[in-house]
Amino acid sequence: MAGARAAIRYAKAVLSLASDQKAADVVNTDMKLVADTIQASKELSEVLKSPVVSSTIKKSVVLEVFKNLNKTTLNLVDTLISNNRIDILGDVAVKYNQLFDESKGIELATVTTAVALTDALKSKVLAKAKALTGKDVEVENIVDESIIGGFILRVGDVQYNASIANQLNKLKQEFTLN
Protein backbone atom coordinates (compact mmCIF):
# COMPACT_ATOMS: atom_id res chain seq x y z
CA MET A 1 0.00 0.00 0.00
CA ALA A 2 2.78 2.43 0.90
CA GLY A 3 4.50 1.61 -2.40
CA ALA A 4 1.36 2.50 -4.34
CA ARG A 5 1.01 5.84 -2.57
CA ALA A 6 4.68 6.58 -3.13
CA ALA A 7 4.35 5.65 -6.82
CA ILE A 8 1.48 8.12 -7.20
CA ARG A 9 3.49 10.89 -5.53
CA TYR A 10 6.53 10.29 -7.74
CA ALA A 11 4.32 10.07 -10.85
CA LYS A 12 2.59 13.37 -10.01
CA ALA A 13 5.92 15.08 -9.42
CA VAL A 14 7.41 13.80 -12.69
CA LEU A 15 4.27 14.78 -14.64
CA SER A 16 4.38 18.26 -13.17
CA LEU A 17 8.07 18.65 -13.96
CA ALA A 18 7.68 17.20 -17.46
CA SER A 19 4.72 19.49 -18.17
CA ASP A 20 6.73 22.52 -17.06
CA GLN A 21 9.54 21.44 -19.39
CA LYS A 22 7.08 20.76 -22.27
CA ALA A 23 8.28 17.14 -22.32
CA ALA A 24 5.21 15.34 -20.94
CA ASP A 25 4.55 13.47 -24.22
CA VAL A 26 8.13 12.25 -24.52
CA VAL A 27 8.23 11.18 -20.87
CA ASN A 28 4.87 9.40 -21.37
CA THR A 29 6.42 7.40 -24.21
CA ASP A 30 9.39 6.56 -21.95
CA MET A 31 7.05 5.51 -19.13
CA LYS A 32 5.02 3.24 -21.42
CA LEU A 33 8.24 1.55 -22.51
CA VAL A 34 9.42 1.20 -18.89
CA ALA A 35 6.07 -0.16 -17.67
CA ASP A 36 5.71 -2.65 -20.54
CA THR A 37 9.31 -3.84 -20.26
CA ILE A 38 9.23 -4.35 -16.49
CA GLN A 39 5.87 -6.12 -16.73
CA ALA A 40 7.12 -8.39 -19.52
CA SER A 41 10.49 -9.22 -17.94
CA LYS A 42 10.31 -11.19 -14.73
CA GLU A 43 14.11 -11.05 -14.43
CA LEU A 44 14.23 -7.25 -14.61
CA SER A 45 11.44 -6.97 -12.07
CA GLU A 46 13.26 -9.33 -9.69
CA VAL A 47 16.54 -7.41 -10.05
CA LEU A 48 14.81 -4.11 -9.21
CA LYS A 49 13.04 -5.60 -6.19
CA SER A 50 16.02 -7.60 -4.88
CA PRO A 51 17.51 -6.31 -1.62
CA VAL A 52 20.73 -8.21 -2.40
CA VAL A 53 21.53 -6.32 -5.62
CA SER A 54 23.25 -2.99 -4.96
CA SER A 55 21.81 0.34 -6.09
CA THR A 56 24.70 0.96 -8.49
CA ILE A 57 24.08 -2.36 -10.23
CA LYS A 58 20.34 -1.65 -10.41
CA LYS A 59 21.05 1.75 -11.94
CA SER A 60 23.45 0.31 -14.52
CA VAL A 61 20.89 -2.39 -15.41
CA VAL A 62 18.15 0.21 -15.90
CA LEU A 63 20.42 2.43 -17.99
CA GLU A 64 21.52 -0.55 -20.09
CA VAL A 65 17.97 -1.75 -20.72
CA PHE A 66 16.57 1.74 -21.39
CA LYS A 67 19.26 3.47 -23.44
CA ASN A 68 17.42 6.45 -24.96
CA LEU A 69 15.46 7.86 -22.04
CA ASN A 70 14.56 11.52 -21.73
CA LYS A 71 16.51 13.62 -19.21
CA THR A 72 13.45 13.94 -16.97
CA THR A 73 13.00 10.16 -16.93
CA LEU A 74 16.68 9.68 -16.13
CA ASN A 75 16.31 12.15 -13.25
CA LEU A 76 13.43 10.02 -11.93
CA VAL A 77 15.65 6.93 -12.05
CA ASP A 78 18.40 8.81 -10.18
CA THR A 79 15.91 10.02 -7.56
CA LEU A 80 14.46 6.55 -7.05
CA ILE A 81 17.97 5.09 -6.72
CA SER A 82 19.07 7.71 -4.19
CA ASN A 83 15.87 7.20 -2.15
CA ASN A 84 16.19 3.39 -2.32
CA ARG A 85 12.82 3.18 -4.13
CA ILE A 86 13.92 1.87 -7.55
CA ASP A 87 11.75 -1.20 -6.87
CA ILE A 88 8.64 0.93 -7.58
CA LEU A 89 9.85 2.18 -10.99
CA GLY A 90 7.28 0.06 -12.84
CA ASP A 91 4.46 1.28 -10.59
CA VAL A 92 5.54 4.90 -11.06
CA ALA A 93 5.54 4.40 -14.84
CA VAL A 94 2.02 2.93 -14.81
CA LYS A 95 0.70 5.73 -12.57
CA TYR A 96 2.39 8.35 -14.77
CA ASN A 97 0.63 6.94 -17.84
CA GLN A 98 -2.72 7.03 -16.03
CA LEU A 99 -2.21 10.61 -14.80
CA PHE A 100 -1.02 11.72 -18.25
CA ASP A 101 -4.11 10.22 -19.90
CA GLU A 102 -6.37 11.89 -17.32
CA SER A 103 -4.72 15.26 -17.95
CA LYS A 104 -5.32 14.86 -21.69
CA GLY A 105 -8.93 13.73 -21.18
CA ILE A 106 -8.22 10.23 -22.46
CA GLU A 107 -10.17 7.36 -20.93
CA LEU A 108 -9.03 3.72 -21.01
CA ALA A 109 -11.66 1.20 -22.07
CA THR A 110 -10.94 -2.43 -21.32
CA VAL A 111 -12.74 -4.94 -23.51
CA THR A 112 -12.60 -8.58 -22.45
CA THR A 113 -13.51 -11.01 -25.21
CA ALA A 114 -13.20 -14.73 -25.82
CA VAL A 115 -11.15 -14.08 -28.98
CA ALA A 116 -8.97 -11.13 -30.03
CA LEU A 117 -10.78 -8.08 -31.40
CA THR A 118 -10.58 -7.41 -35.12
CA ASP A 119 -9.70 -3.89 -36.27
CA ALA A 120 -13.27 -3.29 -37.47
CA LEU A 121 -14.73 -4.38 -34.13
CA LYS A 122 -12.14 -2.36 -32.25
CA SER A 123 -13.15 0.81 -34.11
CA LYS A 124 -16.83 0.15 -33.30
CA VAL A 125 -15.96 -0.25 -29.62
CA LEU A 126 -13.93 2.96 -29.74
CA ALA A 127 -16.86 4.86 -31.27
CA LYS A 128 -19.35 3.48 -28.73
CA ALA A 129 -17.09 4.14 -25.75
CA LYS A 130 -16.42 7.69 -26.99
CA ALA A 131 -20.16 8.27 -27.35
CA LEU A 132 -20.76 6.98 -23.81
CA THR A 133 -18.00 8.98 -22.12
CA GLY A 134 -17.69 12.05 -24.34
CA LYS A 135 -13.90 11.68 -24.07
CA ASP A 136 -11.18 10.28 -26.26
CA VAL A 137 -10.82 6.59 -25.53
CA GLU A 138 -8.03 4.06 -25.87
CA VAL A 139 -9.08 0.42 -26.09
CA GLU A 140 -7.20 -2.40 -24.40
CA ASN A 141 -8.30 -5.90 -25.40
CA ILE A 142 -8.01 -8.75 -22.90
CA VAL A 143 -8.64 -12.26 -24.21
CA ASP A 144 -10.35 -14.54 -21.68
CA GLU A 145 -11.81 -17.73 -23.12
CA SER A 146 -13.75 -18.41 -19.91
CA ILE A 147 -16.40 -15.83 -20.88
CA ILE A 148 -17.33 -18.21 -23.75
CA GLY A 149 -18.57 -15.43 -26.05
CA GLY A 150 -19.79 -11.84 -26.05
CA PHE A 151 -17.77 -9.18 -24.26
CA ILE A 152 -17.21 -7.25 -21.05
CA LEU A 153 -16.67 -3.51 -21.54
CA ARG A 154 -15.17 -1.50 -18.69
CA VAL A 155 -14.76 2.27 -18.95
CA GLY A 156 -13.68 3.94 -15.73
CA ASP A 157 -16.01 2.72 -12.98
CA VAL A 158 -18.72 1.52 -15.37
CA GLN A 159 -18.83 -2.10 -16.50
CA TYR A 160 -21.17 -3.60 -19.09
CA ASN A 161 -21.16 -7.40 -19.05
CA ALA A 162 -22.60 -8.95 -22.22
CA SER A 163 -20.73 -12.23 -21.92
CA ILE A 164 -22.31 -15.62 -22.50
CA ALA A 165 -20.89 -16.84 -19.18
CA ASN A 166 -22.70 -13.99 -17.37
CA GLN A 167 -25.99 -14.79 -19.12
CA LEU A 168 -25.63 -18.49 -18.23
CA ASN A 169 -25.00 -17.57 -14.59
CA LYS A 170 -28.16 -15.42 -14.55
CA LEU A 171 -30.17 -18.32 -15.98
CA LYS A 172 -28.68 -20.67 -13.41
CA GLN A 173 -29.68 -18.29 -10.58
CA GLU A 174 -33.22 -17.99 -11.94
CA PHE A 175 -33.64 -21.76 -12.07
CA THR A 176 -32.24 -22.30 -8.57
CA LEU A 177 -34.54 -19.63 -7.08
CA ASN A 178 -37.67 -21.18 -8.57
The radius of gyration of the chain's CA atoms, rounded to the nearest angstrom, is 20
Question: Does one domain contain both 173 and 113?
Answer: yes
Kindly report, residue by residue over 43-70, the tens digit of the pLDDT: 999 999 999 999 999 999 999 999 999 9
How confident is the model over 23-49, as a mean pLDDT? 95
Q: Is the pTM of this model over 0.85?
A: no
Question: Does one domain contain both 117 and 82?
Answer: no
What is the rounded CA–CA span in Å between residue 44 and residue 41?
5
Contacts 24+ apart (CB under 8 A), 3-7: 3/87, 3/88, 3/91, 4/91, 6/85, 6/88, 7/88, 7/91, 7/92, 7/94, 7/95
- Asked if residue 29 lies in contact with residue 15, where contact means CB atoms within 8 angstroms, the answer is no
Residue span of the structural domain in which 131 resides = 105-177
Question: Does one domain contain both 110 and 163?
Answer: yes
Kindly report, residue by residue over 140-152, the tens digit of the pLDDT: 899 999 999 888 9
Question: Does one domain contain both 76 and 120?
Answer: no
Handedness of CA 33, 34, 36, 37 (dihedral sign): positive
Q: Which CATH number covers residue 19?
A: 1.10.520.20
Residue 50: CB atoms within 10 Å: 12
Question: Does one domain contain both 114 and 45?
Answer: no
Question: Does one domain contain both 63 and 139?
Answer: no
Question: Does one domain contain both 68 and 82?
Answer: yes
Q: Among the three residues 44, 68, 102, which one is the final residue of a domain in this structure?
A: 102
User: Mean pLDDT across the chain, nearest whole number?
Assistant: 91
Question: Does one domain contain both 88 and 36?
Answer: yes
Q: What total of structural domains would you count in the chain?
A: 2
